[in-house]
Structure 1
Amino acid sequence: MSDNPRFGTNIILPFPVLPSSVKVVGILQDNIYIQSIASPFPILVPPIFSFLTQVTSITPTFAIFVGKFSEVHSEGSLRLNSSTNVKRSPIVRFNYYSHPDDLGRCVKGVRKIGDLLKTKTMEKIKTQNLEGNKGFEFLGVPLPENLGNVSAVEEYCKKTESTYWHYHGGCVVGKVVDGNYKVIGIKNLRIVDGSTFSESPGTNPMATLMMLGRYVGLKVLQERLNLN
């Protein structure tokens, strides 16, 4: 069982902007994907601030820079919480960044976001404080000032670890389902979703899942036609 950890930061914008969908900023080595979003809600910290839940003219807008990597080496676990009550949710542990390669990828991604924030374009979203100094107004844990300090960036990754909601690996092909996505040992049951992936795509897997569903569906129809 695995999940792609999400890293990034939320920056409060000093001016309102229209919300945007996810935009791909860049793809780095090691299949690290960096994306950006303009949103009235943060996604890297819990919405614990009361003003964020009120839809008013002063609700801030956030520039959100997030990243993920497709190949996850940290292994989690999935086991039943009850052998008799199917309504009890299973016990899931993802063990984010338990593998040093995953933590290393996060460090690379966070540093690249830091490089992005140093560009001239990003000067426009800096906020001026009472002393006249300009800087980014972060919500939640700010990016480390010294991104060359590996330990500080690793600590940032661990403090801000979160999900990208692309869970996978709970019903891997060859272990839970066969090559036709039939549950092994059960005649008329198939599983066709992200749980069958041994690896999650770098970006949103929706298109991959739709393609997989159509592929399996056409195979089922063809099998029925052959039986007739």
Structure 2
Amino acid sequence: MSGKRPKAAGVLFKDENGDLHQAFLSDSRRSEIILSCGAIGTPQMLLLSGVGPRNELEEKKISAVAHNEFVGTGMADNPMNTIFVPFKKPVEQSLIQTVGITKMGVYIEASSGFGQSNDSIQCHHGIMSAEIGQLSTLPPKQRTPEAIQAYIKRKKDIPHEAFKGGFILEKIANPISTGQLRLINTNVEDNPSVTFNYFKHPRDLQRCVDGIRMATKMVQSEHFTNFTQCDKQTTDKILNISVSANVNLVPKHTNDTKSLEQFCKDTVITIWHYHGGCHVGKVVSRRDQKVLGVDRLRIVDGSVFDESPGTNPQATVMMMGRYMGLKILRDRLGKQLVFRG
């Protein structure tokens, strides 16, 4: 970036072989960089490039190109908690197929992510990755079935029954609690530090409690017991099994079955609905999502979202990409967008 007003000039990147390359914009006014690295990658890229809070950049000895105190702020995620559903027989593995949208701002989903066959634990890698938080510290290519099995063997305190059944997932839509993203160092290959502050706002915590109560009643209902062929479980037993089946890096407490507030805090996991960090009106412009104070740089991804529903935001992100793509093309042609119902 150069000149009185910062202007994006190009990108520095590595290919799949690790070789370093540079690509520069042309002199055309239409030439620009569209940053789309996600809610975590995009604010990280801005900070590493010198766009962000000046004092934080100076602490990392990064030249401040454009001061913006809002880069990396307002980070949010839809917190998820699970209730274990015991089965007497092996269950077919499946992804999310049904979503219940409640009036309380809680989304209820079901997943039979685990089964048992010939005394060997079978598990769907996606749900297992969500339930076993420490796997997230491994690079994706190392999250093999063998790595998962090895982790299970190391975790001898996990009851074997925890892998014979399914889960009722409870997620908070449009969480009020937010956090921040900060650089750990200036190495682009190192993850930044991200804090989402799950349940910091009492309204989020209360919605989780309401959702857990609803999920527990569902597991105790006649419809579920007929389906699972299991006797009706007490609330304490359901919560105890659920706490044991859930493995994250949060220390557990002895009152998880007595305090649903503590149960929510101790068993919270992510469903990877990260958003925020480059909000519209604070980091990017409202009209065209161009980075404020910087020319020829635009952001098109979930980092600009103020909120996210409890369901998968993939379709929303794809629609935003299509909208912005059409808008860019029509702006270049001097046309206006026309929408039809």
TM above 0.5, one fold?
yes
User: Where does residue 52 of structure 2 map in the other structure?
Assistant: none
Aligned AA (1:220): I
The aligned amino acid for 1:35 is E
Instruction: Give the Cα separation in 2 of the matches to 1:108 and 1:141.
Output: 21
- Residues 1:182 and 2:290 are matched in the alignment: yes
Deviation at 1:225, TM superposition (A): 2.5
Supply the AA of the counterpart residue of 1:192: V
Q: Of 180, 196, 205, which residue of structure 2 is paired with 1:94?
A: 196
**Aligned-partner Cα distance in 2 for 1:139–1:50:** 19
- How far the C-alpha of 1:45 sits from its partner, in A, is 4.3
Q: CA RMSD in A?
A: 3.0
Secondary structure in structure 1 of the residue aligned to 2:188: coil
Check conservation: 1:10, 1:44, Cα contact below 8 A.
Answer: no
Looking at structure 1, the residues matched to 80 and 324 of structure 2 have their Cα atoms a distance apart, in angstroms, of 30
Partners of 2:296 and 2:305 in 1: CA distance = 21
> What is the match of residue 165 of structure 1?
272
Q: Which stretches in structure 2 are left out of the alignment for 5+ residues?
A: 1-74, 115-122, 134-147, 156-162, 232-236, 247-255, 336-341
| Structure 1 stretches of at least 4 aligned residues deviating more than 4 Å after TM superposition | none
Greater displacement, 116-125 / 21-30: 21-30
| Equivalent residue number for residue 55 of structure 1 | none
Query: Residues 11 and 138 of structure 1 are in contact (CA less than 8 Å); yes or no, is this contact kept in structure 2?
Result: no
Residue 220 to residue 97, structure 1, CA distance change in 2 (3 Å): same
In structure 2, C-alpha distance between the alignment counterparts of 1:78 and 1:71, rounded to whole Å: 19
Counterparts of 1:51 and 1:81 in 2: how far apart (Å)? 30
Indicate if the aligned counterparts of 2:86 and 2:164 stay in contact, CA closer than 8 A. yes
* Partner in structure 2 of residue 132 of structure 1: none
- Distance in 2 between the 1:99 and 1:215 partners? 33
Q: Which moved more, 1:167-176 or 1:186-195?
A: 186-195
Q: Provide Cα deviations, 1:174-203, integer angstroms capped at 9, x if missing partner.
A: 111112111222222221111110001221
Tell me which amino acid in the other structure corresponds to 2:113.
S
2:175 and 2:203 map into 1 onto residues whose CA distance is 8
**Identity over the aligned pairs, expressed in percent?**
40
Equivalent position of 1:13 in the other structure? 87
**Unaligned 5+ residue runs, structure 1?**
53-59, 129-134, 144-148
- Post-superposition Cα deviations, 1:155-186, rounded to whole Å, max 9, x if no partner, equal 11111011121011111111111121112222
| Structure 2 residue corresponding to 1:116, chosen from 215, 218, 232 | 218
Which of the pair is proportionally richer in helix?
2
Partner residue of 2:131? 44
Partner of 1:80: 183
Cα deviations across residues 105-157 of structure 1 (Å, max 9, x unaligned)?
A: 110000000110121121142557xxxxxx869354379xxxxx996111111
What corresponds to 1:210 in structure 2? Answer: 318
**CA displacement at 1:75 relative to structure 2:** 2.1
Q: Name the larger-Rg structure.
A: 2
Alpha-carbon separation, structure 1, partners of 2:84 and 2:220 = 15
Between Structure 1 and Structure 2, how many residues are aligned? 209
The normalised TM-score by structure 1 is: 0.79
Give me the whole-angstrom Cα distance separating, in 1, the residues matched to 2:220 and 2:242. 18
